[in-house]
Structure 1
Amino acid sequence: MLIKKFVVFLASFCFAVGAHAAGLKVFEVPADDDGPALKAVQWSPCAQPSQRIELGPFVLDAVRDCPLAGNKLPLIVISHGFGGTGLSHHDTAEALADAGFMVVALNHPDDNAITLASNRSNTLAALVNRPQDIKRLVDYMLAFSADSTAIDARRIGFYGFSRGGYTGLVLGGASPDFRELRLPCQDPTGMTCERVAPQLAPAGPWVHDPRIKAFVIADPLSDVFPGKENIQAVTMPIQLWSSQNGGDGVLPAVVDALAANLPEKPDFHVVPDAGHFAFLTMCPPAMAKSAPKICTDGPGFDRAAFHQSFNAQVLTFFRQQLVEGISP
């Protein structure tokens, strides 16, 4: 037993050594019969000091096109929430890449910030297509990416926020019931928003992906999983996060019910004094001014300090499940 523990420790140490920054690549998954082109961002271990990179409204700590450091790397895929982008959680991606993971995040074509701005978003189509988007991204990373040979296909994890959390639950085996879904409206609680008309509620089939072995789910859209029967097939390890105050249609009580109904007990965290958007990355000053709804937290809540703790706990979970939990 002592020898086995030492081997696991040594493998974990060798896995992380040499990574000093996050290498950054922007790429596109080509359109195919299963969907349109996907714009994506990749972070990977890099043995060079980080730089400040301005990309859209965000400021990243990374190195453009840095040579990849390491091999047999676990892969983490990130799914943003409604109106987000592949950069909405870049600090979490950077922390994981700094520690030896390869991380990719995409713009979901139907409900990212650009499609919403151009009024081309179809909310129901987005919820149906999102799991397929992630499956196509994983397919590309394993088969066609320039760094595909450096990925360990046995060690794939997922992080999703809000609608991204919904996406992860479906990928993990859940079957949503859209008759419970309320469409977006001005009510931040979502309680007065109009429900989807029954005749318009999609019925599947839903895209699941058993290649994903561990999930971090933050403040998920989960009212479409009203009972245990909707999530009975979700048995992979889950670290589940809930903001104390919720918002944007996500109710803490519904996330609590999800935690209670999952067939395998999740690693469940409730973040005191946090609102729904606390899981988004810190906003640069210009973005904070232009998007106060997603950038402003409640009195006394320090988003930067929370993200230091959050990223560390996400990293610990993925190390336990994808590094220590899978034999070399």
Structure 2
Amino acid sequence: MMRLCAVMVFLLSSCPLIVRAEPLLQWSVGFHRLSFQDPLDHQPMHALAFYPSTAKEGSSRIGSYQVDATENAKIASGHYPLLMLSHGNTGTPLALHDLATALARKGFVVVAVLHPGDNYKDHSRLGTLSNLYGRPMQISAAISATLHDRHLSPHVLGDEVGVMGYSAGGETALILAGAQPDLERLRRYCQERPNDRDACTTQGELIADRDDLVPSADPRVHALLLLAPLSLMFGRQTLADVHVPVLLYSGDDDTLVFPDKNADALARKLPVAPEFKVIAGAGHFVFMAPCTDEQMAIMPGLCTDADGVDREDIHRDLIEEAGRFFRQSLLSPSQKALRTADQ
């Protein structure tokens, strides 16, 4: 018996110990439709919430987009930070569907809001004060709706909210974090660049359709991802209360939201220096999801990038950076350790 034990000790000491690791979590993506009141007029507004799921992989046709998510699939057990997505003027959050679903797969609940009065179907509030001040209020209403939703609320970390803003959605995100728009800056800019049809649709004079609205920050917002943000209305002083971490992206060939007056200037003026990533040769629409052949044929202007600009490669990097940034910004040290182990 002693000799057998000696042999076993020798074998264990001379052979590497093999430990079988647990398989990494592989979440699919579900989505859930939210409907709640627009704080501006109390009419219904809508959003899509994407979340980690334990169901089989699936794909759904939502409007004109094929999205890698299954409606009302079983949500994965756990508690996840909440990310809000604000689209650009006259746009749709589904234009960034790959970012939303990829972050859900990484362990976030991503709520993509369709802004009433300023979306691809409805332009009725474009160029108005109610749109400038109302869009952040709509995002806040969507946060509250998510936290009260029977399907989602048990799984959401309500005090860990990030906002992703694309184009005019960047302006919305900044107001939510404490920025104060300076309307005089817009007037001066439009006198200098009257041909900027995106920023100066009303020649720099926003339509004063409401006198009861003010810019409203939301204390639940703790991090911002800004993609080609429209931010020319913010000076250094009007950004003084923005103290959340910011990940900022811009294309240096953006001819719609000019970087010199927007992202570049914003990076210099934020009181907390952002992580700032400039994509060489990229235009404004590079942050939209890579297009299918069908989309390329219908809207080539939104789908075509300059030679040497690989939208799919850019989005792979963007998704990885966004996941890293929000994990670092929104999760506690213990939550980060658990999430890193899971992934």
- 2:229·2:262 contact (CA, 8 Å) conserved in 1? no
Using the TM superposition, name which of 67-76 and 189-198 deviates more.
Answer: 189-198
What are the residue-to-residue correspondences of 1:150-299 with 2, within 5 Å? 150-181=155-186, 187=195, 195-197=203-205, 200=208, 205-225=214-234, 227-299=235-307
Q: Does 1:305 align with 2:313?
A: yes
- Alignment-derived partner of residue 107 in structure 1: 114
Q: Per-residue displacement from partner, 1:95-135 (whole Å, max 9, x unpaired)?
A: 1111111111011001110114xxx3432232221000000
Range that drifts further, 124-133 or 74-83: 124-133
The partner residue of 1:83 within 90, 98, 105 is 90
Measured against aligned partners, the alpha-carbon deviations of 1:172-209 in whole angstroms (never above 9, x if no partner) come to 000001233368x9956768866323884988521100
Q: Residue 99 of structure 1 aligns to which amino acid in structure 2?
A: K
Q: How far did 1:284 drift?
A: 2.0
Q: What's the RMSD between the two structures over aligned residues?
A: 2.7
Tell whether the 8 Å contact from 2:48 to 2:113 is kept in structure 1 after alignment: yes
The answer (yes or no) to whether the contact 1:44–1:102 under 8 Å persists in 2 is yes
Q: TM-score, normalised by structure 2?
A: 0.82
Q: Distance in 2 between matches of 1:180 and 1:45?
A: 42
Query: What's the counterpart of residue 76 of structure 2?
Result: 69
For residue 205 of structure 1, what is the amino acid of its counterpart?
V
1:52 partnered with 2:59 = yes
The amino acid across from 2:267 in the alignment is A
1:27 aligns with 2:24: no
1:35/1:277 Cα in 2 relative to 1: closer, same or farther (>3 Å)?
farther
Post-superposition shift, 1:30? 3.5
Count of paired positions: 309
- % identical equivalent positions: 29
CA distance in 1 between counterparts of 2:206 and 2:290 reads 38
Q: What is the Cα deviation at residue 252 of structure 1?
A: 3.8
Partner in structure 2 of residue 10 of structure 1: none
Which of 300, 309, 316 is the matching residue for 2:324?
316
Q: Which runs of 5+ in 1 are unaligned?
A: 1-13
Assess, with a 3 A threshold, how the Cα gap between structure 1 residues 199 and 39 changes in structure 2: closer, same or farther.
Answer: closer
In the alignment, which residue of structure 2 is the partner of 1:123?
Answer: 127
Which SS does the other structure have where 1:234 is aligned?
coil
Tell me what 2:4 maps to: none
Letter in 2 for 1:28: S
- Which SS does the other structure have where 1:114 is aligned? coil
Do the aligned partners of residues 34 and 210 (structure 1) sit closer, same or farther apart at CA in structure 2, a change above 3 Å counting? farther
In the alignment, the residues of structure 2 paired with residue 300 and residue 310 of structure 1 have an alpha-carbon distance, to the nearest angstrom, of: 17
Q: Provide the residue aligned with 1:147 in structure 2.
A: 152
Cα deviation, 1:200-238, whole Å, max 9, x if unaligned, reads 49885211001011111111111111x211100000111
Change (3 A) 1:233 1:299: same
> Aligned equivalents of 1:304 and 1:279: distance in 2?
10
Between stretches 75-84 and 283-292, larger displacement belongs to: 283-292
Letter in 2 for 1:37: P
Aligned partner letter, 1:21: S
Q: 1:306 to 1:23 in 2, by over 3 A?
A: same
Report if aligned partners of 2:89, 2:126 keep a CA contact under 8 Å in 1.
no
Shift of 1:31: 4.7
Give distance in 2, aligned partners of 1:101 and 1:17: 17
Q: Structure 1 residues 197, 128: CA separation in 2 closer, same or farther (over 3 Å shift)?
A: same
Structure 2 unmatched ranges of 5 or more: 1-21, 337-343
Q: Distance in 2 between matches of 1:263 and 1:27?
A: 35
> How big is the shift at 1:307?
0.3
Q: 1:298 offset after TM fit, Å?
A: 1.1
Give the corresponding residue for 1:97. Answer: 104
Distance 1:245 1:133, change over 3 A: same
